[in-house]
């Protein structure tokens, strides 16, 4: 309790001799530093908001505009056509000055108003330009004159040196698709999956919905789109993520693993310290908005809203719905090691600690052999199981005393660090090594990851790293961006941050703060709940069948020579593999982003199409190779159009989801919507983006390819497949399913994917 006592800055006692006042100068200094830091952040935030507010103009352009107005006025020419005189006569305060002074002030005011008006016009013009998406449907390198002119205007009015959120006010709103178009696309998507009788029934339901209740719901949805920044995002976050009462471990959280071909150090504390420092550097860039926004083709900006909750964020359990708690700042991280939790400060004396200082603190934790308190080791199992028991336990057992203070230390941390005791690695001679690696990151032991935290950084004893991320606060590309930032930054700073022995470079200037051991006192009912949660979490973990496959026979380099989109090609491979596995087609989910729009998140690409099925059936029938190439390219083009539609706001599933939510609000049920939203996604796929930063040069550093990450199966009898196109000749697949389902097997599905790749390559190689 020494830390608690030292935190008291002022105390006094009354004695017979008088009042004895005691001041803790160290604590007062800490309070002063905290206040200074807080005000610095506020001022920095205000400056960034101002710069973003005037973007794409710059603050200096105000001086230019005002100087120009004053110069013209002094030259005897009125640039305002009499407006300056009106401002002089009718503006309070200004009209009380002499004529000459009043003229200068009114000219200054006119120049400022003109500057603001120009900025507003440019912003709205830029937003109008960004609503054009025709460029996405044109062949790369063969843009029309219209698109070329559009690109010129975007670059002309898009501003220079944008900050992370500079484009936010200029991004267009996500449009609500026409109801008839959504229904038409939906029926087209399910036609190859339904028999004639079943399809006729669904067609009838869709027609009745479109002519009846659908029109009413559509009007409400359009009204919401006018009012809300994004008509989907708030409902998607609330009802898909936060309202879910099932466990988020495996079912919602996702994971990522290291760049498996290289390892900068074998020292656990050293690797953890440097990754932490690089992540904190990224946090600082996000806070200061120095992180560059992502521009498609170096021209079109993507929404950056999700980056705000990357750090200092926790999902808080509730009885009916969870909430997301985000803090503006946090001075510590929470550390888990051998069943104990620690609070470790990352800022000391108004600066972020250096890697060598953080390494020293982590090593102290590793060297600490004190046993965990009763229930402490398995505490995080509460975050792995159903939300209601965890919400009740949190309210009953963590609302006061030591438990509340310790839980606050975890939930208010920048993120959680888990120092594992089991090594993970990539071994070419042991295909199951990557499987174990992925399982360790996806769920671990079920109690050694704080699944509610925005992310848990995991560091293994041999220096391997990974993460487990909660899904509600943002989508995988945001976490993948941070991960790529951290992994890539090591490449350019290896000689600076690691010594020859693998330890952190640098010299300790003084002893860093000691990690603080968190204290817990659990009553018997709470201990029983923790143990039952651990048992339940372990059962969930045991049911996961996860296989990570590193496919190196060929990659996007060869696929591009076939003049086919790599993503469409891989989706066809997955469709062929699934058909050979199950003997039928299934509803397939592929995640696409909608970040071309403000606060956009994701949309679904229904990858199983009529053209896809035609190609797969022709493959199985061993059709003529020229015919197979024609069918493959037709299916790939259809897929690309669906992907573009999803990105440009013309997707199906988010629109239908919002119509369903609206129907619940108005209290009218729709048999059509109920059936649509109950259809299982037996094949759920997602591509992890690579090279989101401009730092990663795979031609120069080909061994820095990241292995990506994955997620659990969406359906009990289906597969979850995540893939990352890593370089020209490597693709990683993360395949998950449930062991309890007799019809699924991740390794068998991986073998079928390999065979499908070989068969598709054979079509082109022999022609």
CA 650 centroid distance within chain: 22
Q: What are the structure tokens assigned to 390, written together?
A: 């965890």
Rounded CA gap, 650 and 648, in Å?
6
Q: What are the structure tokens assigned to 716, written together?
A: 């009990």
Angle formed at CA 420 by CA 414 and CA 422, multiple of 5 degrees: 160
Among residues 551, 484, 531, which one has the least CA distance to residue 723?
551
20, containing H or E segment: strand 18-23
Residue 693 burial (CB count, 10 A): 16
Q: Is 43 left (phi over 0), alpha (psi -120 to 50) or beta?
A: alpha
- Tokens 């200061």: give the residue: 288
Rounded CA gap, 603 and 592, in Å?
5
What are the beta bridge partners of residue 720?
Answer: 684, 736
Strand extents, DSSP E, 470-582 = 516-517, 544-551
Q: What are the structure tokens assigned to 543, written together?
A: 């049911």
Q: What are the structure tokens assigned to 550, written together?
A: 């590193």
Provide the residue count of the chain: 767
What are the beta bridge partners of residue 342?
Answer: 335, 517
Q: What are the structure tokens assigned to 104, written together?
A: 């200068």
Rounded CA gap, 425 and 256, in Å?
13
Q: What are the structure tokens assigned to 492, written together?
A: 């350019």
- Whether 56 contacts 157, CB under 8 Å: yes
Q: Is 709 left (phi over 0), alpha (psi -120 to 50) or beta?
A: beta
Which residues are known to be catalytic?
471
Strand extents, DSSP E, 430-487 = 455-459, 465-469
DSSP letter, residue 505: P
- Percent helix, strand and coil across the chain, each to the nearest 5: 50, 15, 35
Q: What are the structure tokens assigned to 675, written together?
A: 């059936």
Strand 602-606: give its sheet, edge to edge.
Answer: 544-551, 730-738, 719-726, 683-687, 588-593, 602-606
Among residues 549, 434, 463, 481, which one has the least CA distance to residue 696?
481
Paired sense of beta strands 544-551 and 588-593, if any:
unpaired
N- to C-terminal Cα separation, the chain: 76
Residue 721 burial (CB count, 10 A): 31
- Whether 358 contacts 335, CB under 8 Å: no
Q: How far is CA 462 from CA 265, 266, 267, in A?
A: 8, 5, 6
344, containing H or E segment: strand 340-345
685, containing H or E segment: strand 683-687
- Whether 534 contacts 390, CB under 8 Å: no
- Tokens 């015919």: give the residue: 627
Rounded CA gap, 64 and 692, in Å?
36
Q: How far is CA 289 from CA 3, 90, 483, 488, 692, in A?
A: 34, 41, 18, 20, 17
Q: How far is CA 69 from CA 88, 108, 122, 134, in A?
A: 15, 8, 20, 40
Classify 759 as helix, strand or coil: helix
């Amino acid at each position: 309790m020494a830390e608690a006592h030292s935190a008291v800055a002022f105390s006094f006692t009354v004695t017979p001799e008088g009042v004895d006042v005691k001041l803790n100068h160290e604590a007062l200094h800490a309070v002063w530093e905290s206040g200074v830091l807080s005000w610095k952040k506020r001022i920095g935030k205000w400056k960034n908001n101002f710069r973003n507010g005037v973007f794409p103009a710059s603050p200096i352009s105000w001086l230019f505009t005002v100087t120009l107005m004053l110069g013209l006025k002094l030259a005897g020419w009125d640039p305002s056509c009499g407006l300056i005189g009106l401002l002089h006569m009718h503006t309070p305060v200004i009209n009380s000055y002499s004529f000459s002074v009043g003229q200068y002030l009114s000219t200054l005011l006119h120049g400022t108003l003109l500057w603001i008006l120009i900025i507003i016009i440019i912003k709205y013009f830029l937003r109008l330009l960004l609503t054009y998406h025709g460029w996405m449907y044109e062949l790369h390198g063969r843009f029309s004159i219209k698109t070329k002119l559009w690109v010129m205007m975007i670059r002309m009015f898009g501003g220079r040196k944008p900050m992370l959120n500079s484009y936010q006010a200029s991004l267009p709103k996500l449009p609500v698709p026409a109801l008839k178009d959504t229904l038409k696309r939906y029926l087209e998507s399910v036609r190859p999956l339904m028999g004639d009788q079943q399809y006729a029934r669904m067609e009838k339901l869709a027609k009745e919905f479109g002519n009846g209740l659908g029109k009413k719901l559509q009007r409400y949805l359009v009204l919401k789109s006018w009012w809300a920044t994004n008509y989907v995002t708030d409902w998607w976050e609330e009802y898909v993520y936060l309202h879910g009462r099932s466990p988020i471990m495996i079912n919602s959280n996702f994971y990522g693993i290291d760049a498996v071909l290289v390892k900068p150090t074998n020292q656990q504390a050293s690797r953890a310290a440097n990754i932490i420092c690089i992540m904190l550097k990224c946090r600082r860039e996000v806070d200061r908005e120095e992180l560059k926004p992502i521009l498609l083709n170096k021209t079109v900006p993507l929404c950056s809203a999700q980056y705000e909750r990357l750090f200092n964020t926790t999902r808080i359990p509730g009885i009916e719905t969870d909430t997301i708690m985000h803090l503006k700042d946090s001075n510590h991280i929470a550390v888990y090691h051998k069943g104990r939790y620690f609070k470790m400060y990352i800022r000391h004396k108004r600066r972020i600690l250096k890697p060598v200082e953080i390494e020293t603190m982590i090593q102290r934790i590793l060297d600490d052999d004190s046993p965990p308190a009763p229930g402490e080791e398995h505490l995080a199992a509460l975050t792995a199981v159903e939300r209601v028991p965890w919400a009740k336990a949190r309210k009953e057992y963590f609302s006061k005393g030591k438990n509340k203070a310790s839980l606050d230390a975890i939930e208010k941390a920048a993120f959680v660090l888990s120092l594992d005791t089991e090594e993970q690695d990539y071994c070419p001679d042991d295909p199951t090594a990557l499987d174990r690696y992925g399982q360790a990151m996806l769920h671990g032991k079920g109690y050694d990851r704080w699944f509610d935290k925005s992310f848990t950084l995991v560091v293994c004893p041999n220096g391997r790293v990974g993460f487990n991320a909660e899904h509600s606060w943002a989508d995988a590309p945001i976490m993948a961006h941070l991960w790529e930032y951290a992994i890539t930054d090591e490449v350019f700073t290896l000689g600076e941050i690691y010594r020859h022995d693998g330890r952190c470079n640098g010299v300790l200037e003084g002893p860093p703060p000691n990690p603080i051991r968190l204290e817990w006192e659990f009553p018997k009912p709470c201990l029983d709940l923790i143990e039952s949660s651990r048992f339940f979490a372990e059962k969930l973990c045991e049911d996961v069948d996860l296989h990570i496959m590193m496919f190196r026979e060929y990659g996007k380099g060869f696929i591009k020579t076939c003049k086919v989109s790599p993503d469409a090609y891989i989706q066809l491979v997955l469709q062929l593999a699934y058909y050979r596995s199950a003997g039928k087609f299934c509803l397939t989910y592929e995640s696409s982003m909608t970040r071309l729009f403000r606060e956009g998140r994701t949309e679904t690409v229904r990858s199983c199409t009529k053209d896809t099925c035609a190609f797969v059936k022709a493959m199985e029938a061993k059709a003529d190779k020229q015919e197979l190439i024609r069918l493959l390219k037709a299916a790939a083009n259809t897929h690309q159009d669906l992907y573009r539609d999803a990105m440009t706001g013309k997707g199906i599933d988010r629109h239908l989801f919002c119509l369903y939510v609206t129907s619940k609000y108005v209290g009218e049920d729709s048999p059509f919507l109920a059936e649509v939203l109950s259809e299982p996604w037996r094949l759920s796929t997602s591509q992890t983006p690579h090279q989101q930063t401009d730092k990663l040069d795979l031609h120069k550093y080909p061994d820095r390819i990241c292995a990506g990450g994955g997620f659990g199966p969406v359906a009990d009898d289906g597969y979850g497949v995540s893939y990352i196109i890593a370089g020209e000749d490597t693709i990683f697949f993360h395949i998950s399913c449930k062991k309890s389902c007799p019809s699924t097997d991740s390794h068998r599905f991986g073998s079928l994917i390999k065979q499908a790749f070989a068969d598709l390559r054979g079509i082109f190689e022999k022609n």
